A and B are shown apart, each in its own frame.
Chain A
Amino acid sequence: MAMQLLLVISLALCGVGVVLPLIINERRIPSLLGILGVAISGGLLFFSGAALFGGAAFRATLWTIPPLVTLTLELDKLSALFLFVSGLVLLPASIFASGHLDAYLNRYSLRAFCVSYFSLFATLILIPLSADVVSFLMLWELMSILLYLIVGYEHEVEEHARSAYVMFAIGEAGTLLIAFAFIVLAANGSLEFAALKAAGGSLGDGARWAVFLLAFIGFSVKAGLIPVNFWLPRAYTSAPLPFVPVLAGATLNLGLYGIVRLDGDLLRVTAPGPGLVVLIIGSVTALLGILYATTQSDLKTLLAHSSIENAGIIATALGAGFVFVGSGHPSIAAIAFAAAFYHMLNHSIYKSLLFVATGAVDSNVGTRNIDRLGGLIKAMPLTAGFFLIGALSIAALPPFNGFVSEWLTLQTMLLSAGMASTGIKIVFAICGAILALTAALAVTCFVKAFAMSFLGMPRSESAGNARRANSSAILPMAFLGVLCFVLGVAPTYVIPVLDGAIGPLAQQARAADALIPPFFVGNPHHRELPASFVADFHTLGAQLGQSVLPGRGLVVMHRGGANNPVVFAMSTSYMAAVLPLMLLGVFVVFRLIVVRGRAVERRAVWDGGIRRLLPEMTYTGTGFSNPVRVIFEAVFRPTTVEDTRETVGKHFRAVIRRTRGENHVLDRLLLNPISDAALWVANGFARMHHGVLNAYVFYGLGALIAALLVARFS
C-alpha cells in the first residue's frame, strides 16, 4: 500500500512539474526542475528499491477498455531494476540540468523544456510498470514524441531539428515493429501481459521467430543496436546539454527493457537460434560503435558511439543468456543475464558521469572538440578527476564498475565451452574475440578522450581560459563517481540484487548461486563447498571479513560442472583493499629510500632544444586515433573531399588544404541503398502523377474493372 502511495506521489509531482512551469517566472524554472527532479527521483528510488531489495510487489488494474483490454500496472523485480537505474540516473541528472539551463534562458522556452522533461519522467516511470499492450504502446509513443521534442529542443539549428526528426522517424518504424510483435503474440485475444505470458508457450516455431525478431529489431531502435541505430550519434550530439545524461542513462535502457520483457519474459526462449542472432548483432554493434568512437573528435559524439558499443556488449550478454536458456542451461544463463544487467547498470552510471563531465567542459570552455581542448586538468581538476573515474570505468579497469561487468561478460563467452553444439561454440568464439577487440579499442578511445582533453597543453584560447565547474556539475559527478567505485568493489552485494530481475528470464535460476560461493562461516550454505577447495581459498584469504561483513563472501567465482571443470574467480573488494596498501607501500619506500630528504627539482619539459614548445606541436586527438583509422580503412572508407595545394610559382607551396569526409558504414551499406530504393520507387509512382486528366480517368476505370474481377472470382 505504501508503495502505491509513493508511486502516486511521484506521478503527482511529475504532474506538478508539468503544470507549474506554465505559471511561474521563467527564471525560477531551473531550480524548480532541480528540486522536483530530486524529489521524484528520490521517491522512485525508494519505491523501486523497496521492490528490488525488499521483495515488495504490486499489481494495479486501471480502467477497462472493453472489449480490448484492462489497463494494468504491475511492479515485479525486473521492472524494479530498471526503475531503480532510472532513478539513480535522474537524480544527478536533474541537479545537473538545473544548473545548466540558464544558457537557454532567452533563446528557447524553458517552460517547454520543463514540461517535456517531467512528462518524459512520468513515462519513464510508467513504461516499466505497464503490464498490458495498449498502455505500453501508448506510453511508448508518448515517450517517442516527448523525446523528439526534447532532442530537437534547439530547433533553430537545422541539423538538430533533422537529427530529432530522424530519431522520431526510425522510432516510429520501431514502434510499428513492436506493435506487430505484440499482435502476433496476442493471437488469442487477450492483451494483458499475464495472458500473453501464458499464451507464449503455445506458439508455433515460425510465430516464435517472428515475434522474437520483430520485437528485437523494434526495441533495438531505442536500444541502439545495428542496423537501426544510425539515429543515435546524431541525436546525442544534437540533444541539449542538460538532457543528454538522461538520454544515455535512462532512455537507452528502455529499449533493453523491451527486449528483455518481450523476448525473455513474455516469450519463453526454447531454442538457441534467436539468442545467436542477438549475440552476433550485439558483438558487431559493439565493434562498430567503438571503432567510430575512437575516431571522433567531438566528445559528445564520441560518447554517443561509445553508448552504442556498450549497448552492443549488453546485447551480447543477453544473447548469450538467451542461447543458454534455449539450450537448457539456466544456471549459466543466470550468469549471462547477471552480466547483462550489471553492465546496463554500470553503463547508465558511468555514461551519465561522462556526459555530465562533458557538459561541464562544454559550458565552461565553450567547445567540445577534443582537438581544441587540452590542459584542463589544471583549470578544472575535479571535473578531470571524475572524468578519469568515468573513463577508467568505461575502459573496464579495476577497481571500478566497468571491470566487473566486462569481466563477467567475457567469462560468459568462455562458458560456452560447455555447450554441446560445435556451431554454437564457434559463434561464441568469434563473438568473444570481437568483444575482446572492442575492449582493447575502448581503452584506446578513452585514453584519447581523457588525455587529449585534460592533459597536455591547452590547444585553444578558450581551453586556456577555462573556468572551474560549479557545484551543479560537481555534485552529480561526485554522486555518480562514488557509485562507480561502490559498484566496482562490492560486486558480491550487487549480484544477489540483480537476481530478482534475472529470475523470470532464466527459469528462476539464481546468479548468486552460480557466482558467489559462501565463504563466510556464518552463512548457512557455507558447508556446501568441498573442504579441500575451501582450504585452498582460505589460504588466499577468501574468508577475510567474515564476522564483520554480511553476505556470502567477497569473491566472485564460478566453478564449472563436471563437463567443464574450469574455475574463474576474482575479487575487486580485496583488490580495492590491497591496491591502496601497495601504493602506500611504494610511496613510503619512495619517500624514505629514494628521496631521502633530497630536494626534488622541477624543470621544463624537454622539447629537443627548441625555443618554446607550443600547443600546436603536440599530438591532437585526430592524430592519436589515426592508426585506428588506417588499420580499419575498409570499414571507414574515408573520402578526401578536397585536396588543394595553393602554390606561388611551381614549387612554392602556400597552403595545403585537405578536408576529409566520412560516411558511416551503416549509412553506406544500409541507409543509403534503402533510401535510394525508396526514392526510386517513389519517383516511379510520381511519374504516374503527371496531371493528365484522361489518364486519371483511365486509372479509375482500371481500378473498377479490377475490383469487379476480384469480386467475380473470389
Chain B
Amino acid sequence: MAAVLHELAEHAEVRWTGRVRPTLNGAPDADCQLQCEASDLPEICNWLFSERHYSFGGLVVEQRQRWELRYLFYGEGKEGWVHVVTYLPESGERIPSIAKLVHAADWHEREAEDAFGLVFEGHPRLGDFVLHNDVWHEGVAPMRRAFDGSRPVTHREPDLNWKPRRIVEEAGAFAMPVGPLYSVATAPVYFQLETVGEDVIRAQPRLFYAYRGLEKIAEGRRAEDVLLIAERISATSAFAHSLAFCQAVERLSDVEVPERASSLRIFLAELERLRHHVAAIEGICESTGLTVAAAQAGILQEDLLRISGRLTGHRYLFGLNAFGGLAMELTDAACASAANGVSDVAQRLATLQSMLSTSSSFLDRLEDVGDVSKSDAVDFGLVGPVARASGLARDLRKAQPYCGYEKIDFRIPQESEGDGYARLRVFFREAEQSARVVSNLARAIPPGPYRRPQVSLRPGAALGWVEAPNGAAMHWLRLGEAGRVDRYRIVTPSFANWHGFRLAAENFAFQDFPIILATFALSVHENDR
C-alpha cells in the first residue's frame, strides 16, 4: 500500500521542489499528507484530481493557532488517502479557490466561506449558502472560535428589494418557486426553477433550511455526547454516521475493535442500507404515481423497521455504536431471526422489481429522464448509488475497506446510462447485495466480546470514513484534553449529490422534476447538518 503513496510523494517533491512537504503515515490506513503553500494549492489539487484520478473527498477547515485547511483526496485501493494541507496565518483570510479546476470543491469552499469567513479568491459565487442572507447579517462566521454558539443571534431586517438571482435570459422566462414547503411531508428545500413554460432550464436548489450547526455545537462537548449528535445527522443513515465517528475515535485512540463487534457492525450497516434503499424505491414509485407499488414498498420498509426495532430496541438503530464496538449484545439467535426476516423481505423485493420492470407506464417516466453523464459525475464528485448509475463505481467499502469489509463477499452494481431507471436498478441490486450479506453474516458471526472495554481517548486528529447508504461519508475528528471534541467536520454524501442534482433536473420537463428528485434519494437533513 505504501509503495504507491511513496511514488506519489516523490513525484510531488520533484515537481514542486521545495514547496511541498510530504509526510507518510504507515499501514494499516496509509495516507500521505502533502503540506504546501496556498499559492500552489490549485495546481496540486488539479494534479491529484485530473492526472492521478483521485476523488475529492472534502475540505476540512480548522482554526487552531493558525488556519489549517485540509483537502481530502482518496483513490482506489493502494492509492489510499492524500491530504493536501495548507496553512494560513491567524489574521490571513484569503486563499486561492480550486473550484474551477476541481469542481467538486465548489460547495465546500462556499460552506467554508459562510462558516469561517475565509475568502476563496477566484470562486465566482460566494455568499448566501449556509447562512441565508435574508436571515443573517453579513459577516457572521459561526464556526470561528470567537462566536458563541450557544446563544441566539439577532436577525437582520429583511431586504424588501431582494430579487432572486436569475441566469436565464429569454423572452417570457420566469422563475417558478418550489418550496421550502412543498408536497406532502418533505424536508425543506427551495428550488428556483427557471423555465419558459415546459422545460426546466435551470434548477438550483437552496438548501440549509434545516441547518442545525452540528459542527459548532459539537465543539467542547464530550465525545460520547457528540456520538449522539453523529447519529442524528440523518436518521436514515444514523448507524453509518455513528460508525464513521466511532472509527475516527478508534483510529485516534488506537483501539482495536473485536471481530464480533466488526461483524455485527457490518450486519447492522447492511441492514440499514437495505432499509434506506427500500425507502428510496418507495419514494420513486410514489413520485411516478404508482401508489400500489409504493404501498408494497412501504410494507417492506415497515417490516425492516420492525426487524430493526425488535433486534436492537430502536427502529433507526440509534444508540448501538460505542467506542470500541457495540453498546449492546446481539445474540446469534436474534441475528438469525432478523436475517430470516430480511430474506423474506428480499424475496418480496425481488418480486416487486420484476413487476416494476414490466410496468411500461412506470418505466416511461424513468427511462432517459434525468441523465447524468459519467464525466459530469466525475467532475462534480458524485458518490453513492447515483454515481454508480452513471458508471462511476467507487465504493469506500471496496476502495478503502473499513471495519472488516475486505473479508465480505459482495458486488458493487454499476450501470452506465445514468438515467432514472439506471438509478432505480442500482438501488434494487444494492439492496439485494445487502440482504445477501446480512443473511450470510448471520450464519457466521464470530464469537467473542461485542465491545472493547475501557476505551481511553487520546487527543489528536483522525479521519473516519464509511460508505453510507447515500455514498461516501467522511468524519474528521480532533479531540482535545479530557476527551472533549475540538473540531468535528462532517462531509456527507448528500452534500456532494445535491451539488450535482441540477445536472439531472435541467432540460427536462416540469412533470419530470419530482421524479428525478425521487430517483436521487437525497437527504436534506444529511446535507444541512
Contact = CB atoms under 8 A, between A and B. Distances in A.
Interface of A: 297, 371, 607-614, 616-627, 629-630, 648-660
B196 interface: yes
B176 A622 contact: no
Given A607-B177, A608-B182, A622-B196, A371 B172 contact: yes
22 contacts: A297-B172, A608-B178, A608-B190, A609-B188, A610-B180, A612-B162, A614-B163, A616-B166, A619-B176, A622-B171, A622-B172, A623-B172, A623-B174, A648-B100, A649-B100, A649-B124, A650-B103, A652-B106, A653-B202, A656-B170, A658-B170, A659-B171
Nearest to A627: B198
Given A630-B198, A651-B103, A652-B125, A660 B177 contact: no
B162 A371 contact: no
A611 B197 contact: no
B169 A656 contact: yes
A613 B174 CA distance: 12
B124 A616 contact: no
Q: Is the interface of B mostly helix, strand, loop or mixed?
A: loop
Contacts of B379: 650-651
A586 B393 CA distance: 64
B112 interface: no
Q: Is the interface of A mostly helix, strand, loop or mixed?
A: mixed
A371 B171 CA distance: 8
Nearest to A658: B170
B124 A609 contact: no
Nearest to A655: B167
Contact of B170 (A614, A616, A617, A657): A657
A447 B173 CA distance: 19
Interface residues of B, number: 39
A655 B169 contact: yes
Contact of B163 (A616, A630, A660): A616
A660 B177 CA distance: 24
B158 interface: yes
A657 B100 CA distance: 22
B164 interface: yes
B496 interface: no
Contacts of B163: 614, 616
Nearest to B190: A610
Nearest to A611: B134
A294 to B, nearest CB: 12
A625 B171 CA distance: 13
Contacts of B182: 608
B257 to A, nearest CB: 41
B201 A656 contact: yes
Nearest to B134: A611
A651 B502 CA distance: 11
Contacts of A627: 197-198
B189 to A, nearest CB: 11
Contacts of B171: 297, 371, 622, 659-660
B350 to A, nearest CB: 39
A617 B174 contact: yes
Interface in B374-394: 379-380
B262 interface: no
A618 B163 CA distance: 13
Interface string B151-175: 0000000101011101111111111
B124 A648 contact: yes
Interface of B: 99-100, 103, 106, 124-125, 134, 158, 160, 162-164, 166-182, 188, 190, 195-198, 201-202, 379-380
A651 B499 CA distance: 11
Given A608-B180, A657-B170, 19 more contacts: A297-B172, A608-B177, A608-B179, A609-B179, A617-B164, A617-B177, A619-B174, A619-B176, A620-B172, A622-B171, A624-B197, A626-B196, A627-B197, A649-B99, A651-B106, A651-B380, A655-B168, A656-B168, A658-B170
7 smallest CB-CB distances across A and B, nearest first, come from: A622-B172, A626-B197, A623-B197, A649-B100, A609-B181, A658-B170, A648-B124
Contacts of B195: 623
Nearest to A657: B169
Contacts of B178: 608
B97 to A, nearest CB: 9
Given A612-B162, A622-B171, A660-B170, A652 B124 contact: yes
B179 A626 contact: no
Contacts of B174: 616-620, 623
Contacts of A625: 197
A174 B182 CA distance: 58
Contacts of A658: 168-170, 196, 201
A621 B196 CA distance: 9
B124 to A, nearest CB: 4
B411 to A, nearest CB: 32
A299 B277 CA distance: 52
A608 B202 contact: no
Contacts of A650: 100, 103, 379
A658 B379 CA distance: 26
Contacts of A660: 170-171
A549 B182 CA distance: 58
B167 A654 contact: yes
A622 B106 CA distance: 34
A614 to B, nearest CB: 6
Contacts of A371: 171-172
A618 B164 CA distance: 13
A619 B194 CA distance: 11
Given A617-B164, A624-B197, A652 B176 contact: no
Contacts of A630: 198
Contacts of A612: 158, 160, 162
A689 B379 CA distance: 63
A611 B158 contact: yes
Contacts of B179: 608-610
B298 to A, nearest CB: 26
B507 to A, nearest CB: 11
Nearest to B503: A651
A609 B197 contact: no
Contacts of B176: 617, 619
Given A614-B163, A649-B100, A609 B180 contact: yes
B192 to A, nearest CB: 8
Contacts of A656: 167-170, 201-202
Contacts of B168: 655-658
Contacts of A654: 124, 167
B196 A623 contact: yes
A614 B163 CA distance: 8
A651 B188 CA distance: 26
Q: Chain A CB within 10 Å — which of B172, B181, B196 has the most?
A: B172
A405 to B, nearest CB: 32
A691 to B, nearest CB: 48
Contacts of B125: 652
A653 B167 contact: yes
A482 B100 CA distance: 65
Contacts of A619: 174, 176, 197
Nearest to B163: A614
Contacts of A608: 177-182, 190
A298 to B, nearest CB: 11
A609 B189 CA distance: 11
A620 B195 CA distance: 10
Contacts of A611: 134, 158, 162
Contacts of B167: 653-656
Nearest to A610: B177
A614 B124 contact: no
A102 B164 CA distance: 40
Contacts of A629: 197-198
A660 B171 CA distance: 8
B177 A613 contact: yes
Q: Chain B CB within 10 Å — which of A621, A624, A627, A656 has the most?
A: A656
A653 B204 CA distance: 11
B376 to A, nearest CB: 8
Contacts of B380: 651
